[in-house]
Amino acid sequence: MKTQHLLIHGRVQGVWFRESMRSEALRLNVTGWVRNTPDGTVEAVVQGEEAAVDALIEWAHRGPPQARVDRVEVESDESLGPFSGFDKRVD
């Protein structure tokens, strides 16, 4: 089980990023959450099999068609979780 914390920078709010990431995570059987932050980034914690988490991180570097991802910060954080499902958070 691999757990990663992501901060996604660029034009990533208002472009359906969270819902698109949730759909991709469910397709890959990855759990966790995603939310918009006040500074304009998108933050996510993703957890699952290593190959699936890596695939979701690769997707996050592109995002949905309307997004422009400038960079993705990735940190390992095994202290988070376990999660069931993949949630869009509003907090």
Q: Consecutive 10-residue runs of the chain (91 residues): their mean pLDDT? A: 96 96 97 97 97 98 97 90 84 59
Reading the block at residue 91, the tokens are: 């907090």
How confident is the model at residue 91, as a pLDDT? Answer: 59
Characterize 52-78 residue by residue with b for buried, 16 or more Cβ atoms within 10 angstroms of its Cβ, and e for exposed. Answer: bbbbbbebbeebbeebebeebebeeee
pTM of the entire predicted model: 0.92
Reading the block at residue 66, the tokens are: 């309307």
Tally of CB atoms within 10 A around 5 = 16
Which of 11, 18, 27, 89 is catalytic? The answer is 18
As a whole number of angstroms, the distance between CA 23 and CA 49 comes to 17
Q: What is the CATH number of domain 2-80?
A: 3.30.70.100
Which of 36, 62, 68, 89 is catalytic? The answer is 36
Active site (annotated) includes residue 89: no
